[in-house]
A = this chain, B = another copy of it.
Amino acid sequence: MLNRFRLEFPSRPENVALARVTVAAFAAQLDPTVEELNDLKGAVSEAVANAIVHGYDGAPDGIVIVEGILYGDAIEVRVEDSGKGMEDVARAMEPEFSTDPERLGLGFSFMQSFMDRVEVESSPDRGTRVVMRKQFAPRH
């Protein structure tokens, strides 16, 4: 059986750090470099912040689910909310597209820079799932 975890928490801003730390501690089993770990934390932060800010519109009582799975030297991270979802994922993923003028619209771009692959499934009123994968440089 592959190693994996599932973490659930309410959509409170202070839990973005919880998600980052948990994913980093899990990924530490692959002995990643500091840069790889920073990238991973960055991607998790973007996805979880989006779940809270957009998915649940900042309400603190939504449930965010973060899962991690190790495949050899690669990690897959899934971030899921049951929030408002998106009509047009492709549009949302365009750099500098944001529905919030206070934000940069760079969350998905950052995830794509930090990880090797980013897939987003979303449906309006049902929620959003972001599945990201990163291959670490083999350390053997």
Contact = CB atoms under 8 A, between A and B. Distances in A.
Interface of A: 1, 3-10, 12, 14-15, 17-18, 21-22, 25-26, 28-29, 60-61
Contact of A10 (B4, B7, B12, B18): B4
Q: Quickly give the copy total for this chain.
A: 2
B1 A14 contact: no
A58 B87 CA distance: 47
Contact of A1 (B7, B8, B10, B25): B10
A15 B29 CA distance: 9
Contact of A25 (B5, B22, B28, B29): B22
A15 B5 CA distance: 9
Contacts of A12: 3
A18 B14 contact: no
B9 A4 contact: yes
A29 B14 contact: yes
A5 B18 contact: yes
A61 B10 contact: no
